[in-house]
Chains A and B, each alone.
Chain A
Amino acid sequence: MKIHEYQAKELFRADGVPVPPGEVARTADEVYNIARRYGKPVVVKSQVLVGGRGKAGGVKLAKDADEARKHAETILGMDIKGLTVDKVLITQAVKIDTEIYLGVIMDRASQRPVIMASAAGGVEIEEVARENPDAIQRLTVDPLHGLLPFQSRVLASKLHDDFKVIRQIATIIEKLYRTFVRVDASLAEINPLVVTPEGKVLAIDAKINIDDNALYRQPEIESLRDLSAEDPGEVAAREMGLSFVRLKGNVGNIVNGAGLAMATMDLIKTYGGEPANFLDIGGSSNPEKVITAIDIILGDPSVKSIFINIFGGITRCDDVARGLVTAFEKLDIKLPIVVRLTGTNEAEAKEILAKMDLPTADTMDGGVKKAIELAS
């Protein structure tokens, strides 16, 4: 799960990471009032769940409240990579001497948290990583011992020359790791961490992604979820325990299991069609899930046919068939639906569907071809 910059900053602040004062606003008037109260230059920052906000023109420096209002008028309502900006963060501007990168991720290869740090922080960090990987320091943390104080100190000493600054950075690294563990993050990042000309160290941008598997024990984090920033179909899917991603094609598909769902999408493309979505109904066989899945796909007017591809294991084909029967009763389905059910309780499923006169297929190749044909 992704959260906004202002929310990530609150989580960091709670662990003692120094963050410049800031407030969230939804209108240009609110922005003006906040900037006037601060009485100093401010930065107006769009709050959307996507990277590259600065390059898209969604982050602007204002010398006074009037200019802040003008920037807010441009940024609010702006489209950044398909997302509409409906709120901005106004923070007090900070003078920058140097920019540092700090991040913690769960590293698949070492199977441990890895802290990454670079004295070359800022917006070009990905380029730095690609072209000059030696400029990135990496510290692998033993999750059983946690981060030890000397490790933070040694890492910090590679990022600056002034010992007073190094001490502050070391403390921030410890706090960053503390937040990472406390909130069950899969990524916690400060970029940039700035050093001011007076030698103060501050986090002026923040990003945290949360491990979805741990949300059950993080109710406070779950409450930070911004439903307005997500596709309504994806929200409805998640509430039902489905995973759904909307794509641009016209062949809808409903599959059990992520791997088979991806392979089904690939096959649609291979045979000359365009998948309209990724939809995994998961491992259980609740007929309600099938109804919700069809309903979500029907919500997309560009979908012209649906292919249901179920390989029963834990999922029982007869449950899926029952869901399908109910879906036809409850929903106004005008699209052709091609069904391929195989595996656990396949015979029972076929019996249930026999009177429905739906196009069926015995193989996924056959089903995909039929669905593409019916979509065109």
Chain B
Amino acid sequence: MEYILHLLVVLSIYAILATSLDILVGHMGVLSVAHAAFYGVGAYVATLAVLALRLPFVVAAMLAVVVGVVLCALISLPAANLRDDSLVIATLCVQVVASSVFVNWEGLTRGAQGIRGIPPPVLLGVSFAGPGRFAVLSGLAAIVAVTLARRTTSGPFGRLLHAIREDEVVVLCAGKRPAIVKIVVLCFAAGLAALAGSLFAGYSGYVSPTSFGLLESVLILSMVIVGGPGGVWGPLGGVLLLVLFPEALRFVGIPANVASEVRQILFGLLLIVVTIFHGESGLAPGRVLRK
């Protein structure tokens, strides 16, 4: 039972990550491999806020979101006018730099060994330690995040995103500025990723650089792609598949010393197969968009 609750926590954190990334990738057509960087920023900021600044969890989480948004704004301001392929490479740069900072700025992050002993969140006098209670917290956060994300992908804002995905020139002729919209959406997604990061820190009690590297970014991206980018429930389907399947593998009986490699090989193969499968429709839906 506790295992299932643990899975629920993991699922809800990834739900926030995948849904926020889908706004970028599926709806606005901007591929990013830097999502884990902001996930990590959120985790580390929340950790330091709780441990060093002795802030309560909710405030720490809010601070994490603010820092994530501000950092993203600074990085993306010059990037807004970049062509699509250059933008992807720029996100790669951001991710690698972030990983390097997480590992090497030891004064702040304690480097590769990470930071332990993060206390579980306490809200209104109630402690959310343990999977059971934390699942409530993370579940609620996920519902709020997904709802907010839905608001940006429907209505006039969603229409604008979809237009940017298809043809920025059309948007320009309508007197609108794709560059500004991109920055705003990038920062919004980064903020949600940072929120997920603070939840992670509060739940696991331990943050380290390996959780927030390029591989993690690619994992989140795969959840979006496998589930079906640009739809409504797509990313959540991808989350379910890519969180539960490796857990299921654990029961299959692959020897422990190769489990991690086998998992990653399967994951890499999945990426290849899925991108071939998507083919021309690529990472944006070739199907009808529903409101």
Pair from one complex:
no
B interface residues with partner A (beta carbon < 8 Å): none
